[in-house]
Amino acid sequence: PEKFMDSELELYQELKRLHVLATAPELYPSFIRTRCIGSLLGLLAHENSDISMDVVDLFHELADADDSTPEDSAALVGSLLEHEAPMLLMEHLQRLDEGEEEEAKTVHNTLAIFEALLESKPEVAEELAQKAGLMKWLLTRIKRR
């Protein structure tokens, strides 16, 4: 319906504006205090795939920011883990079709987020591999190829 189109466009534009945070990782602690990470993660289940894929892109940019200090990264990773991001990202990953260029990019960005989580907090490897289901997904992906 057209009445939702405007609100989805506004949401998409606001998500794009949040990408500027990746240029200022020193603001991560303030961003985390706004408690919007949980809301953003909730958008991974949005029926509009452009929105859910942009959320992944945003978290990828935040997790991969060049100027972030270990403390900034740790704060972001801690918040992502607190909000069960690995499970939510895996659920989203299952919906993607790597045959589509944009969705394949989102798969890559999701894996890069997992890499950032593991670099910052190696002890989450078991949770990511087993509980979130990354290992099973990777093995299934290898078998298909």
3-7, 32-36, 55-59: which range is least confident on average? 3-7
pLDDT over threshold 80, residue 2: no
Rg of the chain's alpha carbons, rounded to an integer?
15
pLDDT over threshold 70, residue 145: no
Contacts of residue 54, Cβ cutoff 8 Å, sequence gap at least 6: 12, 15, 16
> Which residue carries 């945003």 as its tokens?
58
| Six token digits for residue 131 | 């509980």
Answer positive or negative: Cα dihedral of 120, 122, 125, 126: negative
Kindly state the average pLDDT of the residues 122-142.
92
Kindly state the average pLDDT of the residues 44-67.
94
pLDDT tens for each residue of 66-101:
888 999 999 999 999 999 999 999 999 999 999 999
The pLDDT assigned to 95 comes to: 94
What confidence tier does 3 reach under pLDDT thresholds 50, 70, 90? low
pTM of the predicted protein model = 0.92
Task: Render the burial of 96-112: b for 16+ CB within 10 Å, e for the rest.
Answer: beeeeeebebbbebbbb
Contact 34, 83 (CB under 8 A): no
